[in-house]
Amino acid sequence: MILIVRLIAASAFLSLCAPAHSESIAVTVAPSRIAVSSSYNGGTVVLFGAVQTTRLPSGPYGVAVVATGPRQTIVARRSGRIFGVWLNQASRTFHNVPSFLGVSASRPLEEIASADVLQRQGIGLKNALIRAGLPSDDDPYLVNLVNIRVRQGLFNERSGGVTFLSGTVFRSEISLPDNVPVGDYEINLKLFQNGKLVGETESSFTVVKVGVEDFVVNAATNYSLIYGLAVVSMALFTGWLASIAFRRD
Amino acid sequence: MLLYLPIADLPINIFLLLALGLAVGFVSGMFGVGGGFLMTPFLIFIGVSPGVAVATVASHITASSFSGAISYWRRRSVDIELVAILLSGGLLGTVSGVWVFTKLRAVGQLDVLIAFLYLIMLTTVGGLMLIESGRAILRARQQKPLLRRPGTHTWVHGLPLKMRFRTSKIYVSIIPVWAIGYAIGVVGAVMGIGGGFLLVPMLIYFLRVPTATVIGSAAVLTTATMALATFTHAVTNHLVDAVLALVLMVGGVVGAQFGARSAHNMPAERLRLLLGLLILGVGFRFGFELISQPDNLYSIRAVGIDT
């Protein structure tokens, strides 16, 4: 009797602990490293995924992909008119703001899952920001921060950004604008079926500056003393060269 | 062809930058000024952040004023004693200017202050130049001889701590010399200008420095203050874009040569009239910027990376 109770309790416990997801997903990201060089003007990361399932499908899959860039502290300022001149007046600081946020899905988000589920899973621009720890109220500073980022192409939400190539194989593109920040990017992929989360996986890629860009940025931030001297020398040398080349006497 | 500027963090057409360098260089060669007061605003207008524009243009002016300084040095039209006193003020002024710049950037009022300073300075200088050159043109037309009063003394000449500057043949107090140097240093570091078009009139009107040594001495001073400004901006704010600087320098020094040549074919007061109009135009553009409502009342700036 005791044994049976124990078994039931154990199985109940196990079922609580066991992953709720029945499907596993294999994904590959290419390229896993985006190089920002002097000719860079935007790039694309392509993600391929395959659902591995043993069950008979009980409905079409829905996929949502959230790509998150390195977190930043952002100061949002509001300007107002003082004596006829527009000045920055009040400001609000936000921490852990993703520098890039790309949300794409195989269908419109509301068709994939209910608003409740989407919020819990951090899918959609607003939900992803809340998940990142930003306030959930409609604070005008935050609303405008998001609007500015959207206009810069750094925040985007595209339903239809994920396409199914077959019943279980899908493809997604994450397009990075030319002003993309460098750093490590996380990709969170969630698989839904009949409005329920049935699988999830993570992946990542890196954006790095290469060549002259990397060299200059690295020198300017980490070796600023030498960098400053080098720029001054370059200026003096250019000036000297010009005075020699165009000497008229 | 797009060139990605690493510190400004944006791609800009390299030919646009070269053309900008050439055009500003042409104007600077034509009028004998550094061209920072045009270069910095134009960079801001094409989308470079004011901070990066100011810091980077400092290096561009270092190059153009150094090439000028060398040729004046060869002609022995540099007053070393005068430059030394100006520099003692100028270098301190530059460091204070960068300090002010850093503080304002931290509180988010840098862009407005830069626009405001440009408005005040450019409309004042442009307006004065316009009036002065207009009068000169009228005088030339009426064939009236210019009244010169050599040896006229102003209140400046009553100040203590007088010193004799042999090359310039003047005997003035070092207080106004030092103060002028300091002012040029501050203004140059905050606004991204060499300040030649402020410095030369000040030296002539306040100190009566003769025309033979004034431009050469100004070029040497500007080279030193702008080199220090570049260095200090690079160390404190990390805003100097070496790639942008190089492209601007190359365009600038070449353009300056053509400008200098074409200036020979034009009467001096008409040249000053044109420069006055140009300065006034850029000044009004800033004024418009300040009073017109921004497209978006909100602005954002990343201040740090979180882990």
Q: What is the pLDDT of residues A213-243, one digit of tens each?
A: 778 888 888 899 999 999 999 999 998 998 8
Picking from A30-34, A37-41, B191-195, B249-253, which range would have the lowest pLDDT averaged per residue? A37-41
Does a cis peptide bond (omega within 30 degrees of 0) precede residue A31?
A: yes
**Among residues 87-116 of chain B, which lie with CB inside 8 Å of chain A?**
108-109, 112, 116
- CB contact (8 A) between residue A141 and residue B9: no
| Residue B279 buriedness (CB in 10 A; 0-12 / 13-18 / 19+) | buried
The CA distance from B157 to B279, in Å, is 31
Cβ count within 10 A of residue B76: 11
Rounded Cα gap, residues B75 and B33, in angstroms: 18
- Cβ A238–B246 below 8 Å, yes or no? yes
Quick check: B63 and A145 CB within 8 A?
no
Residue A122 scores a pLDDT above 70: yes
What confidence score (pLDDT) does residue B214 get? 83
Does pLDDT of A3 surpass 60?
Answer: no
pLDDT at A18: 42
Contact residues, chain B, for A70 at CB < 8 Å: 305-306
Q: Does domain A21-209 have CATH number 2.60.40.3880?
A: yes
Pairwise pLDDT comparison (A108 vs B196), residue with the higher score = A108
Partner residue opposite B7 with nearest CB, options A88, A220, A242: A220
User: Measured between CA atoms, how close is B242 to chain A, in angstroms?
Assistant: 6
In this predicted structure, what is the pLDDT of residue B151? 53
For A1, A66, A168, B208, B271, the CA distances from A165, given in Å and listed in that order, are 53, 20, 8, 82, 69
Q: Flag the least confident range among A14-28, A173-187, A198-212, B70-84.
A: A14-28
Question: Which residue of B lies nearest to A183 if distances are taken between CA atoms?
Answer: B305
Residues 16-75 of B with CB under 8 A from A: 59-60, 62-71, 74
**The pLDDT value given to residue B230:** 93
CB contact under 8 A, B59 and A232: yes
pLDDT band at A87 (very low <50, low <70, confident <90, very high): confident
From B63, B68, B302, residue closest to A73, measured CB to CB: B302
Contact B119, B287 (CB under 8 A): yes
Q: Which residues pair with B126 in a beta bridge?
A: none
Does the pLDDT of residue A11 top 50, yes or no?
no
* A121 closest CA partner among A80, A74, A65: A65
Q: Which amino acid is at A2?
A: I
Strands (E), chain B: 2-5, 10-13, 162-165, 170-173, 298-306
* Better-predicted residue by pLDDT, B128 or A171: A171
- Give the residue on A whose Cα is nearest the Cα of B300: A76
Residue B146: its pLDDT value, please? 53
* Stretch 213-232 of chain B: residues touching chain A, C-beta under 8 Å: 223, 227, 230-232
Q: Which residue from B63, B68, B292 is facing A235, i.e. has the nearest CB?
A: B63
Q: Is pLDDT at A12 greater than 50 in this prediction?
A: no
Q: Where are the domains of chain A?
A: 21-209, 210-244
User: In chain A, pLDDT over 90 holds for what percent of residues?
Assistant: 27
Residues 6+ apart with CB under 8 A from A240: B66, B67, B70
pLDDT tens for chain B, residues 1 to 307: 778 788 887 888 889 999 999 988 888 877 777 788 888 888 988 888 888 999 999 999 999 888 888 888 888 888 888 899 999 999 999 999 999 988 888 877 787 788 888 888 888 888 888 888 888 888 877 776 555 555 556 666 677 777 777 777 777 888 888 999 999 999 888 888 888 878 888 888 788 888 778 888 888 998 999 999 999 999 988 889 999 999 999 888 888 878 777 766 777 777 778 888 888 888 888 888 778 777 778 888 777 777 6
Mind telling me how many Å the CA of A32 is from chain B's nearest CA?
20
- Indicate the residue type of B204: I
Q: Are A40 and B11 inside 8 Å of each other by CB?
A: yes
- pLDDT one-digit tens code per residue, B96-121: 999 998 888 887 778 778 888 888 88
pLDDT(A8) > 60: no
User: Closest partner residue to B300 among A95, A145, A213, by Cβ?
Assistant: A145
Q: What dihedral angle (degrees, nearest 10) is formed by the CA atoms of A13, A14, A15, A18?
A: 130
To the nearest 10°, the Cα dihedral for A50, A51, A53, A56? Answer: -110
pLDDT digits (tens, 9 = 90+) for B35-90: 888 888 889 888 888 889 999 999 999 998 888 888 888 888 888 888 999 999 99
Nearest CA-CA distance, residue B222 and chain A, Å: 12
Contacts of B11 in chain A (CB under 8 A): 40-41, 178
Higher pLDDT, A28 or B76: A28
**pLDDT at A58 > cutoff 60:** yes
Max Cα-Cα span within chain B: 74
